[in-house]
Amino acid sequence: MVSPEGFLFLYSAHPMTTEFDISLLHQAARLAVKGHGTVEPNPMVGCIITNKDGEIVGEGFHEKFGEAHAEVNALTMAGESACGGTAYVTLEPCNHQGKTPPCSKALLDAGIKRVVIGASDPHEDASGGGDFLREQGIEVEIIQDVVCNEIIAPFVYRIKTRLPWVTCKWAQTIDGNIETPESESNWISCKESQQLVHEERGCVDAIVVGVGTVVADNPSLTVRGAPKYRTPVRVVIDPSLRTPLHSNVLNEDAPTLLAHAQGVDSSAFSSHNLIALPSAGGVLELAPLFQHLASEYDATNVLVEGGATLFEHIFSQNLANELWIFTAAHRSILLPRVNMNTLVDSLTTTLIEEQPSGVDNAMRLFVTPFIP
Q: For the beta carbon of residue 252, count every other beta carbon within 10 angstroms.
A: 6
pLDDT above 70: residue 55: yes
DSSP secondary structure of 107-160? HHHTT--EEEESS----TTT--HHHHHHHTT-EEEE---HHHHHHTHHHHHHHH
Q: Determine the pLDDT at residue 151.
A: 96
* Paired residues of 256 in beta bridges: 234
pLDDT, tens digit (0-9, with 9 covering 90-100), for 323-342: 999 999 988 887 778 899 99
How many helical (H) and strand (E) elements, i.e. helices and strands, does the chain have? Answer: 11, 16
Q: Determine the pLDDT at residue 15.
A: 53
CB of 105 within 8 A of CB of 94? no
Least confident of 11-20, 80-89, 246-255, 303-312: 11-20
How far apart are alpha carbons 168 and 305 in whole angstroms? 6
**Which residues have a catalytic role annotated?**
71
Q: Determine the pLDDT at residue 184.
A: 57
Least confident of 216-225, 326-335, 358-367: 326-335
* DSSP at 249: G
pLDDT, tens digit (0-9, with 9 covering 90-100), for 120-149: 998 876 568 899 999 999 999 999 999 999
Comparison of pLDDT for 244 and 123, the residue scoring more: 244
Mean pLDDT, residues 280-289 taken together: 96
Give me the chain's average pLDDT, please. 92
Q: For the beta carbon of residue 354, count every other beta carbon within 10 angstroms.
A: 13
How far apart are alpha carbons 182 and 196 in whole angstroms? 25
Q: Determine the pLDDT at residue 126.
A: 58
How far apart are alpha carbons 257 and 274 in whole angstroms? 6
pLDDT above 50: residue 207: yes
- End-to-end, the C-alpha distance of the chain in Å comes to 15
CB of 48 within 8 A of CB of 88? yes
Q: Determine the pLDDT at residue 11.
A: 41
How far apart are alpha carbons 22 and 2 in whole angstroms? 18
Burial 320-339 (b: 16+ CB within 10 A, else e): bbbbbbbbbeeebeeebeeb
